[in-house]
Amino acid sequence: MGSKDNVNGEHDTIIDNDVNIDNNNNNNKESNEINNSEKEDNIETNETNEVNKNKEDTVIESNKNTQDEGSLGDVEGNIKPMIDYGKIKGSQDVEIPQLLIDQVIGHEDAIETIKKAAKQRRNVLLIGEPGVGKSMLAKGMAEMLPPEVLQDILVYPNPEDTNNPIIRLVPSGEGKKILKSSKSTVSNYDEWKTIIILFLMVGAVLVGFYFKRFWETAIIILLLFLVAALTKLPRNASVGPKLLVNNADKRFAPFIDATGAHAGALLGDVRHDPYQSGGLGTPAHERVEPGMIHKSNKGVLYIDEIGTMNMKTQQELLSAMQEKHYSITGQSETSSGAMVRSQPVPCDFVLVASGNIQVLEGMHIAMRSRIRGYGYEVFMKDYMEDTKENREKLVQFVAQEVKNDGRIPHFSSSALDEIIMEAKRRSGKKDALTLRLRELGGLIRAAGDFAKEQGADLVTAEHVVESKKFSRTLEQQIADRSIIQRKEYSVYNPKGGKIGIVNGLAVIGDRSGLISPIAAEAAPAQSTHEGKIIATGKLGEIARESVQNVSALIKKHTGTDISHYDIHVQFLQTYDGVEGDSASVSIAAAVISAIEEIPIDQTVALTGSLSVRGDVMPIGGATAKIEAAAEAGIKKVIIPRSNLKDVMIEKKYEEQIEIIPVDSLSEVLDNILVGGSRKNNLVKKMKAIGTAVAEKVPNTSIKGNIPNKSN
């Protein structure tokens, strides 16, 4: 894998100029075969110019960047480890903190906020991508709340109003004792009643036999059975209390996950009683069921994706937060439970709500206002800096995952290096480590499963590398299948040159790349006033806007008047739609190729956002796109220069593909159009226009124009 510009000198290797000349000669020979329509003398001249130019270029071997840090899959020991392991031979030697809050990785600022909120019992809103540790922070907060203030909640029958049960609070652990004592009283009464009835029956039988009154005796026994069945406890002692919330033997304050809970489960409910008449019904207080807001009293109530909860439930939750008490009633109006309403039940909880940034749209305004006014809002990171301390934290994370899973072997130091390298790749940035640790944990468990299947005592680097095949996301599997199908049906062909067709690059999901061919055709305008740009392929709003911007770029940077053309742009086989502007540089290349009738090298793929001034801007998913191009048989990939430092491709792709960083549209065309006089003239004209525009900008300083505030 190579690059045409030296950006990071300490990681670069300068390839001998003779090799560069040979490589470029070969590339130009391929271009000559493609561009058979050009004249032989022009081709030879262009080839000579290209060789002379490349003699002065420095070619970057981007794979050296990863080799300096530690190559993927390298277990020979000749590569410097990612960290100084010292006496640590594997994850089994790593000490794991006892408290959950100390097990959270990479969110130091969020942890400090959570500690403040726990101390002052403040509500918290956590916003971030899935799998970055939001629920773990909430659980850690529950451990920091004081457990000595916990209470048990009992519900008693109300002799004055059976539909208004009485609520009583007792210290934690006392609820069980009261319930046991109440059951003992009822049991003693039943025992004495049974003894008395049996004594009367025995007496009746003896008297009947003595006086030989058998029929009368039978009638008396039946009457005694009837009396026993109908005899009840005194009204004030007929039924004992019900233990609603039991906090006995709890070391920490309660943590209740109410994610996705319906109104009854969240706010409490009263069960329906089909036998409510005739004295056969269940007492009202026995049918009262506590909600999660009551079970989390003096603890933490955690709700993920809170914006998906309906507005009425959010309003009731807000009332409970404000009053710190909430009466339990039947949630269904057609149920007999709707007639029952308990006395207010304590629900003094700390709310920790979470979700991604879109969840704010569905969140009740007053709810967010209360959290903001009486708590904290925290935006969680999805990556952390690649430092020695953070790498050590990742090693701790691996040890935690192995312990929590309990079914996989520990990781060797080489496997830990592999996990750190994968965290670098998944961050999408060279000097960063991902914090989407739930997904990284999936790879850890897959590697552990594979090692156990192989009968290994420790997980090695090879196990981690092999497990990537089994832990591929659905999007990656879809992308792989799409590449095979598109190759089979010749949707794209990484050979030769074609006019108006370019190999664009896209991303499916988070990190799965895909080849996205784009075709352009220029036809005479149907309108006498001006031409149109017509784009098809289920484009999103941003993608359509990027297509429109291309027309301004072509007019300014090529000097071509496109008002006489109707330009058709087609994104081939984009059944799921296209969004974003990372294809704008591909669109521009395809349209210019179609207008100027210059073939595009099909061994090259490209990606990049294009500003209206012709600058190539950074995009996301550069690594995934490059790997997809390599899988598809592409030989070169053009990317924005500012993305070069973020490229962390796997070792198996390093020798398959060359990376070409660019800054401007003219550089893109210089590298993607097939060589010849028409290409040379176009690129020369674009550079001349760009130079003329730059010369018009005065080289002045605004320093002296800043007004003096003292005046």
Q: Which residues are catalytically annotated?
A: 582, 625
How many residues are listed for the chain in this entry?
711
CA-CA-CA-CA dihedral for 615, 616, 618, 619, to nearest 10? 130
**Up-side HSE of residue 240: CA atoms within 13 Å toward CB?**
17
Give the per-residue SS3 of 299-366. CEEEEECHHHCCHHHHHHHHHHHHHCEECCECCCCCCHHHHCECCCEECCCEEEEEECHHHHHHCCHH
698 burial (CB, 10 Å; 0-12 / 13-18 / 19+) is exposed
Are 628 and 50 spatial neighbours (Cβ–Cβ below 8 Å)? no
Q: How far is CA 130 from CA 133, 135, 143, 270, in A?
A: 8, 10, 23, 35
* Cα dihedral 592, 594, 599, 605 sign: positive
DSSP state of 517: E
Are 437 and 133 spatial neighbours (Cβ–Cβ below 8 Å)? yes
CA 31 to chain CA centroid, nearest Å:
44
Nearest to 464 by CA among 676, 604, 611, 651: 651
CA 407 to chain CA centroid, nearest Å:
25
DSSP string covering 564-582 = TEEEEEEETT-TT-B-SST
Helices 474-488 and 622-631, packing angle to 10 deg? 40
Are 611 and 668 spatial neighbours (Cβ–Cβ below 8 Å)? no
Q: Please work out, in degrees rounded to the nearest 5, the angle formed at the alpha carbon of residue 63 by the alpha carbons of 68 and 434.
A: 75
121 burial (CB, 10 Å; 0-12 / 13-18 / 19+) is middle
Report the first-to-last Cα separation within the chain, whole angstroms.
Answer: 60
One-letter amino acid at 35 equals: N
One-letter amino acid at 517 equals: P
DSSP 3-state of 519: strand
Give the residue ranges of DSSP H helices in 82-232: 108-120, 134-144, 174-211, 214-230
Residues with Cβ < 8 Å from 196, sequence gap 6 or more? Answer: none
Query: What residues pair up with 606 in beta bridges, in sequence order?
Result: 504, 638
Structure tokens at 453: 């299947």
Helix (H) / strand (E) containing 617? strand 616-617
Residues 374 and 368: their CA atoms lie apart, in Å, by 10
